[in-house]
Structures are given as C-alpha cells and as structure tokens.
A and B are shown apart, each in its own frame.
Chain A
Amino acid sequence: MSATTNAAAGVSSASGTLTPVPGSAVSRFLSDGWVTTWRNLMKIIRVPEILLFSLIQPIMFVLLFTYVFGAAIDIPGDGYTSFLMAGIFAQTVVFGSTYSGSAMAQDLKDGIIDRFRTLPMSGAAVLVGRTNGDLVINALSMIVMMLTGWLVGWRVNSSFLEFLAGVGLLLLFAYAFSWVMAFLGMAVKSPEIINNASFLILFPLTFISNAFVPSENLPTPLRVFAEWNPVSALVQSARELFGNVPPGTPVGDAWTAQNPIATVLIGVVVLLLVFVPLSMRKFATLSR
C-alpha cells in the first residue's frame, strides 16, 4: 500500500499512519454518538422484523383490550378506550426500552463491542447510540399506537402543548429505563436471559398498576403496590395530560398517585443518575 496523503483533510502523518482531524472532546463525543446511533438505526432498516413486531404488539393490545375487556369494564367518563390508551402507551414504551438490554448483550456476544473498545472512541457514545436507537423505535410505536387508538375512538381532550408533554414524558421515562436495561444487558451478557427476565419483571410491573383497570378495585396488597408503582404514575400523568381522566376520578392516597408528573420526573432523574454512570463504568471494565 502506498501512503495516501490528503492535504485537505490533513490526516496523514510522516509515518504514513492516518491521524485524526482536529476536534474537541465534545465534538468527538457527539460524532461518536451519532455514528453508533446511525448503526442502530441501520439495523432497524436492514432487519425490519424488529420494528414490525414491536409495532404489531401494541396494535394487538389496543384491539384486544378495547374489544375483549372494553365491554366488561365500566369506566366513568369517556369509557374504557379512553382510559386504556395511556396504559397501552406506557406498557409499550417500557417494554420497548428492554430492547437495549438484549441488543447490548447480543453486540457483546458478536464481538462488535470488542472492536469498539479497541478504537479511540468514546465508550459512553456506544451506550448513548444504543439508548437513542430505542428512543426512535419507541417514538415510531407511539405514532402507530396513537393512530390505532384514534381509529377505535380514543381522543385527546387537552391542549396541543399538554399532548406533547404527555408524549415527551412517556418517551423520557422509557429512555431512562433503557439505561437500566443496557446495564443489565452488559451484566448478564445473554440476550435470551435478558428477554425472559424482563418479561417476568415487566409483566407484573405493568399489570399491577392502573394501566388496564382502575387500581382502587384491586385487593388491598395489590392496590397499595399499584398506587406506589412508578408505572401507575406514568399512566396517570399521560391520562391527565391527554385529558382522558374525568374530573373527580379517584386516584389513591399515595403521594406518587397524587403527584404523578413529579413522580415520573423524579424517577427519570434517579434512574439516569444511577444507571448512566453505572453503565459507563461497566462498559469500561467489560471482560476484565
């Protein structure tokens, strides 16, 4: 190979080894984050089944709950569909964020993470790219679910800003949760175990909440759990911001149930403060 010089880019050193273009640490971090995000988005394009299944499931849930349970569950106000949709949104984005865990474990297994770790790139950028990928998938499934919901009669009864705030809160919570899953993916290192374990944890977490039925009808231990469950707070916030809660609907006595939006925001901050540094440290010491 002959030494290629590129005066414009200024990237060829005397020894022939290519050297980086000048740039600050911040601009390199942003560039690395964009490249790994791009890589994860390319996967969605090249393996469309991933997106397809993550979109079919919420559509199925909307239809099943609306038509199977809708007739049996009596909800005051606009009826069950209106009550249900925020619950489906929350469940879907929380499940959607688990993809970060299995994808991280898969990348480790495939050796691509080892490749990244021999490059002079930012390790944190790999994680940012991963969680960004989930955010995009979740945003797309939100759009599909909202269209499906609209078809079966769900309507937003609030201002446009409140609507945006509701969507933003759902995606923000899911994004924070992606960091938890990314950490678990690196700790467990097996995509299969991550998939099965998250199913076992998230199903009770989303079902013992106010997502699908009003929690005040639950037996006491479950009701208490549901009231303090952060998923309930997320659902309650979304319901309020979409204007899907009739005034005077009982929400429970727990502080988290009384202050759902604050609960979600605190939850997001706590998850990020704990799991961003934890994941970055885990990444830096992988296979040591």
Chain B
Amino acid sequence: MPFIEAHGLVKTYTPKGAPVVRALDGLDLEVPQGTVAALLGPNGAGKTTTVKVLTTLIQPDAGSAVINGVDVLDDPQAIRRMIGASGQYAAVDENLTGFENLMMVGKLYHLGSKFARQRASELIELFDLTEAQNRPVKGYSGGMRRRIDLAGALVIKPPVLFLDEPTTGLDPRSRIGLWDVIESLVSDGTTVLLTTQYLEEADRLADSISVIDNGRVIAKGTADELKASVGGQRVALTVVDESDGDAVRTILAQHGHGDPVVTGGRTWVVPVDDGPAALAAIVAAASAAGIALHDAGMRRPTLDDVFLQLTGHTADETDETTEDAA
C-alpha cells in the first residue's frame, strides 16, 4: 500500500471578476514508503495546492487523500502529528533566533520543554547553524533561512516530509548544499514529497517524478523512464551569432524530424534518427553555409525535453492563465 495516496483531487478558486480556476483537476498521486517523489511543473500547475491539501492547510472540493492509513480530511490532527512541512517561503519567525524557532516548534508538537530544547540543539548542529543559532532569523542569508525552515520540519523526525520548492530562489551553491542535506535525510527512510520547477532537482533527488500541468498529472515515472519516453537522440547546435538562427533552423529541419526548438537563445535542438550520421551532415551543411558554430554535439533527451514534449512549453515558462493560490 502506498504511504501517501491521493485520488481525484479537485480544487477550484473563483477570483473576483475572473473565470473559475481549476487549481487541481483530478490529481492522482501514490508515493511508496521510504521513497522520494517529486511533483514537477511550472508555476500555477497545482504543485503547492497539492501540498497544501496533504498538509491539512486546505480542503479539496473533491477527491481523497490518505497518509499512512490516516484520512487527511477526516483526521487532520493525526496527520499533523506525523508530517513535517517546509514551505516555499521560509515560514519561520523573523524576530526569533534560529534556536528559539526550533524550540517553539518542538513545544507546539508538545514534546515538552526539556526535550524541545534538546532536539533544537541537535538540529542546529545537524544543519550547521551553531554560530548563527542565537541571532534573529531576519539577519540570516537565504540559504540559512531555508536550512532553519527545513530543520523546523524535522523536529519530530516525521515519517513523512513535504518540501514545497525547497530551493527556489537560492543561488547554485546554497542549492547544492541543501540537496546534500535532503539526500542524507532520505537515506534515513523518510518518505518525501517535494515540489520543484527545477528538472535538475527532480532528477537528482527523486525516485519517481510526476509531471503536472493544469492541475493534473500528465506523466509519471523515474527520470530515466521519462527521458526514454521522449525517445531517440538529438543533435544540438550552438551558434556564435544569434542572427544565424533561421539558417540553422532550416538545416536542422532538413536533417531531423519535427520542429527544431531553441533553448537559451543560441542553442538549437532537433530529434534525429541516426545520431552520428545526422551530426556529421548537419555540421557539414552549417560549415558550407558559412555559419560559425560555438558548439555541436549529440544529446540525450533531458527532462526539459520531456516537459516540452508533454506540455508544449518549457518548465521555466510561467503559465499566466492559472496561479497557485498563495
């Protein structure tokens, strides 16, 4: 039996003067015990709404959700005794110190004053915040804030952990640091559901990925399965001069199948059948046309390609028509 199980979740909002928004539109989710599942999707896809339903913050209009055999809608208080949640925006008290924040959370879990204090000390050490522990959180860096927020979610060593965009807005170095922390947690057997807009993050941390768009799961599997489902090899050309784009596009279209797509402004990618042969032909054609190339090569499909293929847009593009209810 899956540890986290949700079926047919529907949640609609009616913003003033706007049509009804279906934040969740029949979302299904199953996470086996001790695994990490990622919800991958753009802003407004319904990731945060899903986490809010599972962490008892909002009630869905329809559908069911069960965690470890406990119905989320029937017994929210029992759910709260076994989950840890870390939000998209660091939900800690700015005016309390890191230590005080953790101790407060321990007391609100009713661990008792003495044990809440002891657990706070353990977490401060674990998250490498010893030096900053007695400073108010408002003086913390972005990475430190995320760490204290994550520590707050771990106070009771919960069997289930929800991480809503744990690294959004962090610089690459802090992001990798936080990934290390999360990885060490999951090796501990904690069941984790994380949401992310970063394909790289899902690829690195998750055992299984559910790609969601417009409030429903549009594909699921391991990172490798999803990549394989897109299939085939690709050739990618990076031009020196952006104005050569149209010419490159024409050449790629002749040697590959499907429309070439541009990523990062100067890199054009097209699916091909015989990778090495196509690459040789394409490079020769580009050279004959006098196009200066910065880079040329074969590429295995990335999760970016998966997302593009499934949704018609990349994961970075914000879908303006829907919005996660904050």
Contacts and interface: CB of A to CB of B under 8 A. Distances in A.
Interface size class of A (residues with CB under 8 A): 35 or more
B81 A16 contact: no
B108 A17 contact: no
Contacts of A9: 111-112, 114-115
A120 B122 CA distance: 21
B110 A20 contact: yes
Interface string B77-95: 1001111010101111111
B6 to A, nearest CB: 17
A2 to B, nearest CB: 9
B309 to A, nearest CB: 34
Contacts of B122: 4
A159 B81 CA distance: 52
Interface stretch (A41-49, A139-147, A165-173, A265-273): A41-49
Interface in B230-280: none
B107 interface: yes
Interface in B114-170: 114-115, 118-119, 122, 126, 136, 152, 155-159
B55 to A, nearest CB: 5
B57 A20 contact: no
A47 B159 contact: no
Contacts of A20: 81, 109-112
Interface string A29-44: 0011001001100110
Interface of B, secondary structure class, is: loop
A28 B81 CA distance: 14
Interface string A193-223: 0000000000000000000000000000000
A155 interface: no
A11 B119 CA distance: 11
B52 to A, nearest CB: 7
Task: Sort chain B's interface into a size bin.
Answer: 35 or more
Contact of A111 (B56, B80, B90, B136): B90
A112 B93 contact: yes
Given A9-B112, A15-B159, A17-B156, A1 B126 contact: yes
A287 B325 contact: yes
A59 to B, nearest CB: 25
A119 B119 contact: no
B157 A1 contact: yes
B108 A110 contact: no
A114 B94 CA distance: 15
B307 to A, nearest CB: 28
Nearest to B80: A120
A110 B159 CA distance: 26
A18 to B, nearest CB: 4
B81 A118 contact: no
Contacts of B89: 110-111
Contacts of A282: none
Interface in A266-284: none
A6 B87 contact: no
B56 A117 contact: yes
A120 B126 CA distance: 24
Interface in A64-80: none
Given A18-B155, A117-B57, A287-B325, A110 B110 contact: no
Nearest to A107: B93
Interface in A9-24: 9, 11, 15-21, 23
A21 B56 CA distance: 23
A20 B55 CA distance: 19
A39 B96 contact: yes
Given A18-B111, A115-B152, A119-B109, A39 B93 contact: yes
B52 A287 contact: yes
A115 B126 contact: no
B58 A287 contact: yes
B82 A21 contact: no
Interface of A: 1, 3-4, 6, 8-9, 11, 15-21, 23, 28, 31-32, 35, 38-39, 42-43, 46-47, 110-112, 114-121, 286-288
Given A18-B109, A18-B155, 12 more contacts: A9-B115, A17-B158, A18-B157, A20-B81, A20-B112, A21-B111, A39-B93, A111-B91, A114-B91, A115-B85, A117-B57, A287-B325
